[in-house]
Structure 1
Amino acid sequence: MIQIGDVVVSFDVLREKFLCDLGACQGICCIEGDAGAPVELDEVEKLEEVLPLIWDELSPEARAVIEEQGVVYTDCESDLVTSIVNNKDCVFTCYDDKGCCYCAIEKAYREGRTNFYKPISCHLYPIRVGNYGFYKAVNYHRWDVCKAAMLLGQKENLPVYKFLKEPLIRKFGEDWYAELELVVEEMKKQGIL
């Protein structure tokens, strides 16, 4: 592990390769799992603000869940997460005519309808950030549904931290990311990576 400021970064984030392959996975990370995506407390208001912009793109089932319990809930591990439909789909999913799953929030962002991209945990995936009071831990999360992304990342030789440059900057800032790159280059020179 390396430490930059109050953030500890796992070597896996630097070594492992990853590049989303939406054509292969069809967006299954927004569908599979036993809970919704982790949400930071300050993101709840943003999710509620974007809701009217994407409401018509959500499934009737998702709208019913949101009307009943809201955009988030507290899961069995006491984490705040996005609400889900039938213990499966995130309520913010939408599908194209080929059955590929997309995030309705990200779609609205890309179309210029909102300035909120999506929850940072989604933007950072496959990185998970743990908050331990005095420090944060940045870890690579392995999930079988992302096998195609791992293979494509290996083919393109794209490390996780480079694939996730934009969300890492969004979370920790440009200076932090620049320092991460300097540390990685030094580690490469020393033969550690």
Structure 2
Amino acid sequence: MARGSSAGAVVAGLTAAALAVIGFFTYQASAAQDRAKAGSSDERGGTGGSEGPREREKRERETNLPAFSGVGERVVYDLDRDRVWLMGRDQEVKRTFRVAPSSVDPQPGTYKVESRAPHVTGSDGVPVENVVRFATNQGTTIGFSSALDGSLPEAEPGGQTGGIRERRADGEAMWLFATIGTKVVVVR
């Protein structure tokens, strides 16, 4: 009987070790997916880890969350870097990406998402989707959107547009994240 108990203990130990290995690989796969969600293709650039220290430092400087941009779940928009961060409640960067600015900038400050529209024609005449509006300045409504054709606008001299244009994948992420009432922090 003692011999059978010891064989059972060995099998139980091996089973526990196998489950631990499977759990570890599952955790690694999940972490890799979370890292992939944190940035769009323009941040990753397909470098595959081959970037040098200077390139990595430059990318980190560009993508680091601005100081004094608040806490909690929010959208952070840096006017100087033309970059957005989607921040989770736990200060985790859910996604960061570059945008094409509107010709009328919002003033630095804290706002809330006021309205949304799945499809409209932008103030520049381009059909857009995933419109998330949060501010008004100089009589112009300001919000994030992405063009159906994937274009990013060129600034028109003298034009007053409020559309902060995103790539389509980034616009989809914004749409899913920034519901009515979501905080938007604009910094310089």
TM-score (norm 2): 0.24
Higher helix residue share: 1
Higher strand residue share: 2
TM-score (norm 1): 0.24
Q: Could you say which structure has the larger radius of gyration? A: 2
Of structures 1 and 2, the one with the larger relative CO (CA 8 A, separation 6+) is 1
